Amino acid sequence: MEPVVGQNQPVPAPEPAPAQVKPIVVKNLSLGYGRAPILKDVNLEVDPGEIVVVAGGSGCGKSTLLKGLVGLLPPLQGQVWLEGLEVSGASEKVLSQVRRKIGVAFQGGALFGSMTLAENVELPLADTARLSKAARQVMVRLKLAVVDLDGYEEYLPSEISGGMQKRAGLARAMALDPTILFFDEPSAGLDPITSAELDQTILKINRALGTTMVVVTHELDSIYTIAHRVIMLDKSEKGIIAEGPPAELRDTSSDPRVTNFFHRKPRN
Ligand SMILES: Nc1ncnc2c1ncn2[C@@H]1O[C@H](COP(=O)(O)OP(=O)(O)OP(=O)(O)O)[C@@H](O)[C@H]1O
C-alpha cells in the first residue's frame, strides 16, 4: 500500500524535468598520470551527430583526453558521462554497458595480425552479443562493406594496405553499432590521398548513421574536411584555449596560438 503523506509531513519536491541527454558531457575534468594534471578543469558537451576534433600541439594532452573520455584513464577530478551514463568512477558493470555504446579506433588500427579481417571485426560481437554464427557473419560483412572492404573478409591485415587496415579498424570499432565513435589520429602514417579517403569514410558514416564522433588529429586538411567543431588544447594552459568551427577559428581568433596553428606558422 502507498504510504499516506500526512499534513505535517513534507511534500516531496517534484522531479526535475529530465534534461535532454547529450552523448558526451564532461564537467571540470582533470586528468594526469601521477598527481600533476596534464589537463585541468576541462568542460565539454557534444551534440548528437556532431564531429568534434581535438587539436593542438604535440604533448598538449589530446590522447590523454581521449583516454579520459572512454574510461581508460580515471580522472584526478571531475566527471564524464557518455549517453547519460557516468564513466568516471563507474563500476565494471556500468563500464561494460557504456562500452557497448561506443567504439574506439586506435592509432594503427590495432588489428590482430594472425586473424582475418572478418575475425577481427567479429571479435567484439563474440564478446558481448548472443548471436548465431550466421548472424555474426552477416553483421561483419555489413561493417566491412560500410568501410568499402567488401570482398576482403578472408584477408590478413598484412595482406592489405595501411589505409585499408585503418578502415578495417574502423569496421571493428563499429561492430556493436556504437552511437559514439572515438578516433585517435586516424590518418597517422597515411599518404595525403589515402588520408583524404579515410576522411570521406568518416563523413559517410557520420551522415548515414548520425554517429557522434570525437577525433584526435592535428592534420589541418582533415580538420577542415570533417570537423563541425574544433577544440584546441594548449600544453601550458593544461586545457581548452579555443573552440569553434575550424574556418571561424582560423579567420577570427585573436589568439596567436590558435591562428599560428591554423596558418601553420612556426612558434618563433
Ligand atoms: N602513460 C603515460 N605516463 C606518463 N605520462 C604520459 C603518459 N602518456 C602521456 N604522458 C604525458 O602526457 C602528456 C600529454 O601526452 P599526450 O599523448 O596526451 O599528448 P598529445 O597531445 O596526444 O601528443 P601527440 O600529438 O604528440 O601525440 C605528455 O607530456 C606525455 O609525455
Predicted confidence (pLDDT) at residue 53 exceeds the cutoff of 90 = yes
Residue percentage of the chain with pLDDT more than 90: 63
Q: What are the grid coordinates assigned to 214, written together?
A: 570525437
DSSP 17: P
Of 54, 64, 107, 185, the residue with max ligand 1 atoms within 8 A of its CB, to mutate for a pocket test, comes to: 64
Which ligand 1 atom sits closest to the C-alpha of 61?
18
- CB atoms under 10 Å from CB of 5, counted, come to 10
pLDDT of residue 13: 55
Tell which wins on pLDDT, 124 or 20. Answer: 124
The whole-model pTM stands at: 0.88
Query: What's the rounded mean pLDDT across residues 98-112?
Result: 83
Which ligand 1 atom sits closest to the C-alpha of 64?
18
Residue 64 alpha carbon to ligand 1 centre in Å: 6
Residue 151: C-alpha distances to residues 11, 148, 202, 205 (Å): 65, 9, 20, 19
Place of cell 563500464: 95
Residue 63 alpha carbon to ligand 1 centre in Å: 7
pLDDT in tens, 3-37: 444 455 665 555 444 456 899 999 999 999 988 89
pLDDT of residue 108: 59
pLDDT of residue 1: 43
Q: Are 65 and 39 in contact (CB under 8 A)?
A: yes
Predicted confidence (pLDDT) at residue 2 exceeds the cutoff of 60 = no
pLDDT of residue 187: 84
Place of cell 526535475: 16
Residue 142 alpha carbon to ligand 1 centre in Å: 35
Least confident of 84-93, 101-110, 159-168, 179-188: 101-110
CB burial of 150-188 (b: ≥16 within 10 Å; e: otherwise) equals eebbeebbeebebbbbbbbbbbbbbbbebbbbbbbbbbe
Residue 229 alpha carbon to ligand 1 centre in Å: 23
Nearest CA to ligand 1 atom 29: 59
Nearest CA to ligand 1 atom 7: 33
Nearest CA to ligand 1 atom 18: 61
Residue 131: band (very low, low, confident or very high) from pLDDT cuts 50, 70, 90:
confident
Query: Cβ contacts of residue 157 below 8 Å, gap of 6+?
Result: 109, 111, 112, 113, 117, 120, 165, 168
Residue 129: band (very low, low, confident or very high) from pLDDT cuts 50, 70, 90:
low
Nearest CA to ligand 1 atom 17: 63
3-state helix, strand, coil in the chain (%, to 5): 35, 20, 45
- CB atoms under 10 Å from CB of 56, counted, come to 24
Query: What's the rounded mean pLDDT across residues 171-194?
Result: 90
Residue 235 alpha carbon to ligand 1 centre in Å: 10
pLDDT in tens, 81-99: 999 999 988 888 888 888 8
pLDDT of residue 127: 62
pLDDT of residue 11: 56
pLDDT in tens, 229-257: 999 999 999 999 999 999 999 999 999 99
Pocket of ligand 1 (CB under 6 A): 33, 38, 56, 58-64
Which ligand 1 atom sits closest to the C-alpha of 67?
18
Which ligand 1 atom sits closest to the C-alpha of 185?
27
pLDDT of residue 12: 57
Query: What's the rounded mean pLDDT across residues 36-62?
Result: 95
